[in-house]
Amino acid sequence: MRYGTLKVFSGSSHQAFVNSICANLGISPGGREIVKFSNENIMVRILDNVRGDDVFVVQTTFTPVNENILEMLIMIDALKHASAGRVTAVLPYFPYARSDKKDQPRISIAARLMADLLEAAGADRILTMNLHSPQIQGFFRMPSDQLIGAPVIVDYLRHKNLKNAVLVAGDVGEIKDVAGYANRLDLQIAIIDKRRYGNDERPKAKHIIGDVEGKDCILVDDEIASGRTMLEALDFLIARGAASVSCAAIHPVLTGDAVQRLTESAMREVVVGDTIPVEHKRTDKMKVLTMAPRFAEAIKRIHLGQSISELFKK
């Protein structure tokens, strides 16, 4: 089915990212008005005519998280009532992605709930990047595309001296992702056996699989939240003779004082994407790589009915 004009609208969470996407597409962001009343209710008004158009709404998971989620749902609903031909929810960092399973008694699988809410609001399609777990994509009853940010980080790392480098998975759950980096960079990998006790975000590294002595270690993960995983791994690798340690992640969640602790640590470099606003937290030790061109290309391909899988080869 062919839809009308391609239009991209932005929520409040990451306007700079949307501006970059639109610049890559050669269009301007759609006009909208977002009002928060004194009773904290939100109203969204679409200022452009979108009847029959192919509309993409971009909103990432950023403070205030729950308000931004509701804002996106209301914006999707407004677009559907404005007779948009198709509405694609673009979530660079998917909300509640860590709540993807029932691993404790009497808890919610909140990632599935987010999928249900997007569908109920009227989203026809989902576009996101690097879900925390592959099974989340199965939560959607509508077409969904998961972009991979690894090629952007790989392109950056290729320009460095990697003769003495080894890629390190911070835990066994990251093995598959790290293997993807290793295949592209032709590097060896090592794996940290990490144990997490409870919900306190304080993992403990226990063992190492692979050779890190005298090596330049590059820790790879899908996100950096509190930073404790990276810092625990840093100390663990240095204690086992690593020459240096850097880290790379797609999503710079960076909660609390994570940036300060990473900056003051022995971490050589922190490489992150821009799926979450990070400029206000940026330091000299941090390298921010933009994922906007990949989203722009995916949006263009979805609009034209072209293959998204081609992007995985780049």
Three-state SS at 258:
helix
Distance, CA of 286 to CA of 246 (rounded, Å): 10
- Which CATH code, of 3.40.50.2020, 3.90.25.10, 1.10.3810.10, 3.40.30.10, is assigned to 6-148+292-313? 3.40.50.2020
Distance, CA of 72 to CA of 69 (rounded, Å): 5
* Mean of per-residue pLDDT scores for the chain: 94
The whole-model pTM stands at 0.94
* Per-residue pLDDT reduced to its tens digit, 45-68: 999 999 999 999 999 999 999 999
> What pLDDT was estimated at residue 199?
60
> What pLDDT was estimated at residue 242?
98
More confident residue, 133 or 94: 94
- Name the active-site residue from 176, 194, 204, 300: 194
Written as six digits, the tokens of 267 are 């971490």
194 is catalytic: yes
* Per-residue pLDDT reduced to its tens digit, 181-208: 999 999 999 999 876 666 655 667 778 9
Contact call for residues 220 and 169 (beta carbons, < 8 A): yes
**Residue 210, by phi and psi: left (phi above 0), alpha (psi -120 to 50) or beta?**
left
Q: Does residue 28 have a pLDDT over 90?
A: yes
More confident residue, 159 or 195: 159
Please state the domain extents for the chain. Answer: 6-148+292-313, 150-289
Mean pLDDT on 304-309: 93
Distance, CA of 134 to CA of 138 (rounded, Å): 8
Contact call for residues 188 and 198 (beta carbons, < 8 A): no
C-alpha separations of 109 from 96, 194, 225, 286 in Å = 9, 24, 20, 33
Distance, CA of 19 to CA of 111 (rounded, Å): 27
> What pLDDT was estimated at residue 263?
96
Distance, CA of 130 to CA of 150 (rounded, Å): 9
* Per-residue pLDDT reduced to its tens digit, 78-132: 999 999 999 999 999 999 999 999 989 999 999 999 999 999 999 999 999 999 9
Three-state SS at 130:
coil
Quote the distance between the C-alpha of residue 229 and its chain's center.
Answer: 17
CATH class for domain 150-289? Answer: alpha beta
Residue 85 per-residue DSSP state: S
* Per-residue pLDDT reduced to its tens digit, 209-252: 999 999 999 999 999 999 988 999 999 999 999 999 999 999 99
Written as six digits, the tokens of 204 are 């403990």
Same topology for domains 6-148+292-313 and 150-289, yes or no?
Answer: yes
> What pLDDT was estimated at residue 202?
62
What distance, in Å, lies between the first and last C-alpha atoms of the chain?
A: 27
Contact call for residues 176 and 131 (beta carbons, < 8 A): no
In one letter, which amino acid is 88? T
| Helix ranges (DSSP H) in the chain | 15-25, 65-81, 110-121, 150-157, 175-185, 228-239, 258-264, 292-304
Quote the distance between the C-alpha of residue 74 and its chain's center.
Answer: 22
Backbone angles phi, psi at 67, to 5 degrees: -65, -40
Q: Does residue 313 have a pLDDT over 80?
A: no
Query: Which residues have a Cβ under 8 Å from the Cβ of 223 and sit 6 or more positions away?
Result: 93, 130, 132, 249, 250, 251, 252, 253
